[in-house]
Structure 1
Amino acid sequence: MGHWGFSYIGCIWLLMLILPNLAWTRCKPQGYSAEGESRVLLAMERSGEVCVSLFSVCFSDYDLRPFSPWFFWLTGSFLLMLMYEAWWIRYFCSGRTLADFYGSFWGIPVAGASLLVLAFLLLAIYGRVLWLGLSSILLGIGHIGIHLRHRRSLSSRPALFTPGGKGPSLR
């Protein structure tokens, strides 16, 4: 269920999440708009963000401990966070189109949403903290749901998400 206490691993994961998102506020994709987003999905996303942020730092169960098979969950979570950072690097080095933002990365659909949700879910499994696991699922339903809806709306209008309709595929 979790032991109260500060988690440096949770703090590192949050920094890996927050820093590129802060940079994104200055480098949004051309044509980006949050208009028309489902209020239900948005409420789930926001609630999940708050809970994931809180539960990832206030339980010490995520910090390193002697090696056991559980360590593979932490390793998987870390690899997913590294992939999330690589996805951001690709986005910032690209033309910053909506296709870049909502597209797949290494075969993972809507990677900007999927990778971080999976990373926090694996972190919850490693720490055996139910609250972070449930929060990750809540975040995933909202965040991935919103990204999928944006992606679906773009795929029928290619000229709106890349200059001249050329660029990375949304598939």
Structure 2
Amino acid sequence: MFGHFGFSYVGFIYLLMLFIPNILWTKFKPVNYQNIVSNENKILLWLERVGQVAVSCVVLIFNDFNLKPFSHWSLWLIISFILMIIYGVFWIRYFKSKHTLKDFYGSLFGIPVPGALLPVLAFLLLGIYWKVIWLIISIIILGIGHIGIQWQHLKECEIENL
């Protein structure tokens, strides 16, 4: 329930799947992105930052996330990994696009704000996979902030017709 200390190679792989496209994104930010960032809710931004640090630490320091013998709990890991693959598809679509706000915030397979929702759900399922409460709490904090900010950006784009 609380986790066992040790390095998690699965957590490391998930963080790579998360960070690599985000690092590339810094060179290919959407056109007019700066216009909507200035209006971010400070509480959501604070929750996002705290959640990012907590999630990054928790997935690395608890070895509960590493692969174990197959059981009915493995389904949570499989679904989580599928969500991360779809997250990769989101980034491929974005990097092949014209890098507009619509490209970045537009739904993917009917999933709204996929750049925020997919990894948050994937990490939540990873927390459920081995029942590590610290990851579940951390990802809820991150999810409130990150999804909240992205949703705010999406609504602002729709209002301003960007």
The TM-score by the shorter chain falls in which range? over 0.9
Pairwise CA distance, 1:103: 1.0
| CA distance in structure 2 between the partners assigned to 1:103 and 1:142 by the alignment | 19
The answer to whether 1:134 aligns with 2:125 is no
One-letter code aligned to 1:99: K
Correspondence list, 1:31-50, <5 A: 31-33=32-34, 34-50=37-53
The corresponding residue for 1:24 is 25
The corresponding residue for 1:168 is none
Question: Which of 40, 65, 71 is residue 62 of structure 1 equivalent to?
Answer: 65
| CA distance in structure 1 between the partners assigned to 2:159 and 2:71 by the alignment | 48
Deviation per CA, 1:60-79, whole angstroms, max 9, x where unpaired? 00111111100000001100
| CA distance in structure 2 between the partners assigned to 1:14 and 1:75 by the alignment | 16
| CA distance in structure 2 between the partners assigned to 1:144 and 1:67 by the alignment | 32
Correspondence list, 1:90-169, <5 A: 90-158=93-161, 161=162
Pairwise CA distance, 1:141: 0.3
State the 4+ residue runs in structure 1 displaced beyond 6 angstroms.
none
Deviation per CA, 1:33-56, whole angstroms, max 9, x where unpaired? 221111100000000000000001
| CA distance in structure 2 between the partners assigned to 1:153 and 1:67 by the alignment | 45
| CA distance in structure 2 between the partners assigned to 1:60 and 1:156 by the alignment | 45
TM-score (norm 2): 0.97
| CA distance in structure 1 between the partners assigned to 2:62 and 2:130 by the alignment | 9
Pairwise CA distance, 1:144: 0.4
One-letter code aligned to 2:15: L
Aligned residue pairs total 159
The answer to whether 1:10 aligns with 2:11 is yes
Pairwise CA distance, 1:157: 2.0
One-letter code aligned to 2:68: R
Provide the secondary structure at the position in 2 that maps to 1:29: coil
